[in-house]
Structure 1
Amino acid sequence: MKLDKDYWEEKWESKKTGWDIGYSSPAIEAYLSHYQNTEAKVLIPGCGNAYEIDVLWKLGFRNVTILDFAPTAVQILKDKCKEMKGVSVICEDFFNHHGTYDLIIEQTFFCAIPPSLRIKYADKMHELLNKDGRIIGVMFNRNFKESGPPFGGSISEYKLIFEKYFEIQKMEECYNSIQSRRGSEIFINFKKEI
């Protein structure tokens, strides 16, 4: 199975979006509500329905880029965000994206890419972040019986990937996961220092 643009577009066209919980993650929402800098440049890669955009908008963020490479998902977001000045919706492969950001929100993107691309993901995140920039969000802390996506993993695996690129400020069990993911999710907060 090739997890390319066509694969994800077919999921969107056939409405097979089982990863979509229908609202923003409570853990991400809680973090954003305490994030002081509304001038920050924010990226949501592999954004899907990007429910976090509503939270960011209500909090006053006006420099947000949301990125997906499934055209159907992007069109839905372009329609949704057309009145939101300062929100850019881009149809592009994350690994080809250029820009610099202060905050990147991780929500069901890392688990959607093949594990063989995880080091490339960490490297690209490092490239996209400004000094002192952060990746925050949720990741699975479990393995799945079926071959993915989603692809699982563990804190020890993730630490080996990310500690080369970031100061790991938080990577622990998520206390405010949605009910169906309780006990199987971690909250992350990684800071770029160099």
Structure 2
Amino acid sequence: MTKLNKEYWESRYKENEVGWDTGAITTPLKEYIDQLENKDTKILIPGAGNGYEFEYLISKGFRNVYVLDIAQQPLENIARRVKKAFSKNLIEQDFFEHQEQFDLILEQTFFCALDPKLREKYVEKAHSLLTEHGKLVGLLFQFPLTESGPPFGGSKQEYVKLFSNFFTIKTLEDCYNSIKPRMNNEVFINFIKK
């Protein structure tokens, strides 16, 4: 398997090999964000890539949103595009080394980009980054897990087993409003920190 490190992701962005990039926020996260009322909610978007969720949240008046990515290139792309982005909001760091706490972590194609061997570590880290009763919300892929990722898939059964020791599973269901290329391949999650 390719080593999914900083150099790998930097080269993918520099070569514009970003097949996961939809060019805009996807419908499931847009609709979730649209029902959030507290504009002071502290939100983390890990592995955010070009950060369309960040851009949308900022445009909706959210003031406490942070993007974390191991690669510098996507953060530069966000800074060029989103004039209201402050450098403190764009964090170049390994997710597993980050220490702050957040009320909400938005998951969009980060989990599926990690080496599957890191999944338990991801669950524990997401748990530690959330405040009491914090939420992990977003999308996970639902197709067989193979060696040929990223993206790496999984199943509802695997996700229940993986997350349930650290999170109360409020929602884990087939995503009804996926964008067309991802239709029938995503589950929407809303997990609450135990």
Q: Is the structural similarity TM-score above 0.5? A: yes
* Counterparts of 1:78 and 1:85, CA distance in 2: 8
Letter in 2 for 1:148: G
Stretches of structure 1 lacking an aligned partner (at least 5 in a row):
none
- Give, in angstroms, the shift of residue 120 of structure 1: 0.2
Deviations 1:127-148 (A, max 9, x none): 0000111011011011266611
The answer to whether residue 192 in structure 2 is matched with residue 173 in structure 1 is no
Q: What TM-score do the two structures reach when normalised by structure 1?
A: 0.95
Letter in 2 for 1:108: T
The answer to whether residue 143 in structure 2 is matched with residue 142 in structure 1 is yes
Deviations 1:68-93 (A, max 9, x none): 11111121122233433596001111
CA RMSD of superposed structures (Å): 1.5
1:4 aligned residue: 5
The answer to whether residue 44 in structure 2 is matched with residue 43 in structure 1 is yes
Stretches of structure 2 lacking an aligned partner (at least 5 in a row):
none
2:70 aligned residue: 69
Q: Secondary structure at the match of 1:118?
A: helix
Structure 1 segment 29-108 matched on structure 2, within 5 A: 29-84=30-85, 88-108=89-109
> Structure 1 vs Structure 2: percent identity of aligned residues?
44
* Counterparts of 1:187 and 1:132, CA distance in 2: 19
| Large movers: runs of 4+ above 3 Å | 84-87
Q: What TM-score do the two structures reach when normalised by structure 2?
A: 0.95
Letter in 2 for 1:11: R
- Number of aligned residue pairs: give it: 193
* Counterparts of 1:60 and 1:83, CA distance in 2: 10
* Counterparts of 1:175 and 1:3, CA distance in 2: 30
Q: Secondary structure at the match of 1:135?
A: strand
- Give, in angstroms, the shift of residue 22 of structure 1: 0.9
* Counterparts of 2:141 and 2:53, CA distance in 1: 18
